[in-house]
Amino acid sequence: MNGSLLIRNGRVIDPASGFDQPADLAIADGKVVAIGRDLAPGGSRIIDAAGMLVVPGLVDLHTHAYWGGALLGVNADKIGPRTGVTTWVDCGTSGAATFEGFYHHVIRRSRVRILPFINLSYIGLTAAGNLSIDVGELFDWRFADLGELKRVGSAFASEIVGVKLRASNNATGAHSALALPLAREAADMLGVPLMVHVGTAPPTIDEVLPFLHEGDILTHIYNQSVGGCVLDGAGKLKASVRDAMARGVKMDVGHGAGSFSFRVAEIAMDQGLLPDAISTDLHAHNVDGPVFDLPTVMAKFIALGMDMHEVLTRVTFAPASIVRRNDLGRLDVGSEADIAIFKLRSDPQNLVDSAGEIRSGTLGFDNVATICRGIVLEAVEDGRAEGRHYR
């Protein structure tokens, strides 16, 4: 059989089914073909996973993977093999003007899976993150071009998983009140979920949430910016947030360089705002810290009191189902052979949030091997640093 592989002696966990047992796992032709004890090796390549976790390849619901086409982009194919992340949901790094390049130069050539949201703005995040010409993607309203979005959206209908809007002052400038209904219209037009980021107002989170329906996504839920925060001045979860949770709006962490506060997370989680997805918002300005990678963000949620299964659920089938890919983030016979192997680390570690606050980690996830589409991803080096610093 093609590319057959046997992962032996690991602790196999499939959060979707609740399976958690010592087992071998056999892969052929890009699929999981058997899970059980003492599977015969046949002619397979063998990985010994004794003492390790064997879990579905991780799904990061918020990343920026258009390297070379946007200043914020990082190379998913380089970071995937050392982090266990096999599915990278790109959150609007490209708009209609730049999507085709993203698809042909990056998405199609990558060994990892990249599932793109398209930005409401024609130029996407091409200029975002450049501190010398800091021009938000919707400062000029001519970039809110639904005609172009429709053209590209229909040409790439089988690729695009959602529409993205950064609803904050640095992105929309004077146009926040216009951008929200237009983003709603764009997502409905393409028949995909809408993901909206909240941050520095305007608009406030109270103004944003009414535009989100069941299955849409709010990202940066634990940011501490006053207008964009889920908490009011007294530390109470805002009514608009409770209403959104009740109607099925999905809540995404989107850690980012400035969007994750341990303190906000602790207070909000105490009041019932748990994330549906634990994600990084990985980009060039946070890959060298405070985000680093998805396993580091997972360790932060262990430090916040979640157990390992609760964390694994939120980086596997839960985010996969949010982008309507119920075939991903699972490990059962017949499923895609996207697999991550981790060694658990229990030495104390200092974990830092976007505000520089520290919590002590109790458990870490060291990636040992990453398999996507049945192929063990070897490390690649392109001579290019992922992190960028403009100051």
Contact residues for Zn ion (CB under 5 A)? 91, 281
Query: What's the CA gap between 150 and 287, in Å, rounded?
Result: 33
Minimum distance from CB of 221 to Zn ion (Å)? 13
C-alpha radius of gyration, the chain, whole number: 20
Which residue's CB is nearer to Zn ion, number 281 or number 338? 281
Nearest distance from residue 63's CB to Zn ion, in Å?
A: 8
Q: Where do we find the tokens 């309203």?
A: 141
Cα separation, 29 vs 327, whole angstroms: 16
What is the closest distance, in whole angstroms, from the C-beta atom of residue 125 to Zn ion in the complex?
8
Specify the length of the chain in residues: 391
For Zn ion, the closer of residues 35 and 91 by Cβ is 91
Nearer to Zn ion, 281 or 336 (CB): 281
The residue with its CB nearest to Zn ion is 281
- CA atoms lying within 13 Å on the CB side of residue 177: 1
Q: In angstroms, give the least distance from the CB of 278 to Zn ion.
A: 14
Cβ distance 126 to 139 under 8 Å?
no
CA distance to 76, 176, 221, per residue, from 229 (Å) = 29, 17, 7
Rounded to a whole number of angstroms, the minimum distance from the CB of residue 288 to Zn ion is 16
133 phi-psi bin (left φ>0, alpha ψ -120 to 50, beta other): beta
**H or E element that contains 350:** strand 349-352
Strand 339-345 to strand 53-56: parallel, antiparallel, or no bridges (unpaired)? antiparallel
Using CB atoms within 10 A of its CB, is residue 20 exposed (0-12), middle (13-18) or buried (19+)?
Answer: middle
Task: Select 74 or 368, whichever has its Cβ closest to Zn ion.
Answer: 74
CB of 83 to Zn ion, least distance (A): 17
Rank residues 102 and 342 by Cβ distance to Zn ion and give the closer one. 102
Nearer to Zn ion, 9 or 286 (CB): 286
Q: What distance in Å separates the CA atoms of residue 28 and residue 310, rounded to the nearest whole number?
A: 29
- Pick between residue 106 and residue 267 the one whose CB is nearest to Zn ion: 106
Kindly state the smallest distance separating residue 353's Cβ from Zn ion, in Å: 16
